[in-house]
Amino acid sequence: MSPAAGDFFPTILVVDDDTRLLVLLADELRADGYTVVTARDGPEALRRLDAGWPDLVIIDLMMPGMDGLTLAREIKMRADLPIVVLSAIDAGDSKATLLTEVAEDYVTKPYHYPELRARVERILRRLGDRVPRRSLVLGPDLVLDLHQRSAIVAGERVSLTPTENRLLYALAANIGQVVATETLLDRGWAATDDADKTYVWVTMRRLRQKIEVDPNKPVHLLTVRGIGYRLIETSAPESGREPAAVPGGPG
């Protein structure tokens, strides 16, 4: 079987309006040990997403109603899930745009299943099982419910905006590691031409107001001076302030 992480069996959401192809690809993936959820159009895919996050999404580009690019953008608004585009369109410019904006990879139809499987495996190996799945307990006073776009802070539920959720998702997928400000800017404002680092700084200050018990003494959402941010778990309340922010930068 092909799942890339031992006993971890990733879930893949496959979206295609071609029922024959949808059934065939789902059967091929299941035969390789994956858990597969299917949808025949964009709205059905978003309902599946609301019911539970997959580990990877395969999307047909040309679908009636909500096309694959629109669906991929909608998914990225909810969760920073890896997306593979599957399309009969083999256009270099379109492919480059998709890969930059929403997709991890692009496979042209008619697809060769061993090649598609290899690409899926490579993406899942790189991501591992670090993507937060349901509630993520970061400490006695903080639980992230990113699938519900909310956090529980000292027992109280706090709502998160789509942008705040995307940035927290990127940080939560790299718990304890530094995520560069540029990476967060791309996650939050990929479609905004004039976005700059101040967008990240302002959002991080707002997030601290929401998820930290004492925003002036953050213990979970920390600034790494001159580089980016880090989300950490704590087993007990920590003391001390984080390092001072870069002058004129995030606070």
CATH number at residue 46: 3.40.50.2300
In this structure, what are the phi and psi dihedrals at residue 137, rounded to the nearest 5 degrees?
A: -85, 115
Please give the residue that has the higher pLDDT: either 128 or 167.
167
In this prediction, residue 172 has a pLDDT band, given cuts at 50, 70 and 90, of: confident
Q: What is the pTM of this model?
A: 0.58
Domain C-terminal end among 87, 105, 127: 127
Contacts 24+ apart (CB under 8 A), 42-46: 42/15, 42/66, 42/67, 42/68, 42/70, 42/71, 42/74, 44/15, 45/13, 45/15, 45/71, 45/75, 46/71, 46/74, 46/75, 46/78
| Amino acid 3: pLDDT | 54
In this prediction, residue 114 has a pLDDT band, given cuts at 50, 70 and 90, of: very high
| Amino acid 209: pLDDT | 96
Please give the residue that has the higher pLDDT: either 109 or 102.
109
Classify residue 180: in a domain, yes or no. Answer: yes
Q: Using an 8 Å Cβ cutoff, are 16 and 25 in contact?
A: yes
Residue 74 shares a structural domain with residue 110 = yes
Task: Count structural domains, the chain.
Answer: 2
Residue 145 shares a structural domain with residue 104 = no
Mean pLDDT of 25-32: 95
Rounded mean pLDDT of the chain? 83
| Amino acid 203: pLDDT | 94
The candidate with the shortest Cα–Cα distance to 68, out of 39, 47, 93, 30, is 39
Residue 111 shares a structural domain with residue 195 = no
Residue 189 shares a structural domain with residue 158 = yes
Cα angle: 227, vertex 72, 220; to 5 degrees: 35
Classify residue 247: in a domain, yes or no. Answer: no
In this structure, what are the phi and psi dihedrals at residue 177, rounded to the nearest 5 degrees?
A: -105, 155
Classify residue 6: in a domain, yes or no. Answer: no
Classify residue 239: in a domain, yes or no. Answer: no
The domain in which residue 107 lies consists of 11-127
How far apart CA 186 and CA 159 sit, in angstroms, is: 22
Domain C-terminal end among 127, 149, 180: 127
| Amino acid 244: pLDDT | 35
Residue 59 shares a structural domain with residue 144 = no
Classify residue 156: in a domain, yes or no. Answer: yes
Asked if the model's pLDDT at residue 247 lies above 70, the reply is no
Domain C-terminal end among 127, 151, 180: 127
Asked if the model's pLDDT at residue 101 lies above 80, the reply is no
Residue 19 shares a structural domain with residue 51 = yes
Residue 72 shares a structural domain with residue 17 = yes
Classify residue 144: in a domain, yes or no. Answer: yes
Q: Using an 8 Å Cβ cutoff, are 246 and 226 in contact?
A: yes
Please give the residue that has the higher pLDDT: either 213 or 103.
213
Greatest Cα pair distance, the chain, in angstroms, is 59
Q: Which of 22-31, 61-70, 232-241 has the lowest mean pLDDT?
A: 232-241
Asked if the model's pLDDT at residue 231 lies above 50, the reply is yes
> What does the block give as tokens for 233?
């778990």
Q: Specify the amino acid at residue 44.
A: E
| Amino acid 128: pLDDT | 54
| Amino acid 142: pLDDT | 95
Classify residue 2: in a domain, yes or no. Answer: no
CATH number at residue 196: 1.10.10.10
How far apart CA 2 and CA 122 sit, in angstroms, is: 11
Residue 15 shares a structural domain with residue 123 = yes
In this prediction, residue 232 has a pLDDT band, given cuts at 50, 70 and 90, of: very high
| Amino acid 238: pLDDT | 42
Mean pLDDT of 132-154: 84
Residue 113 shares a structural domain with residue 143 = no
Mean pLDDT of 184-195: 76
Residue 189 shares a structural domain with residue 89 = no
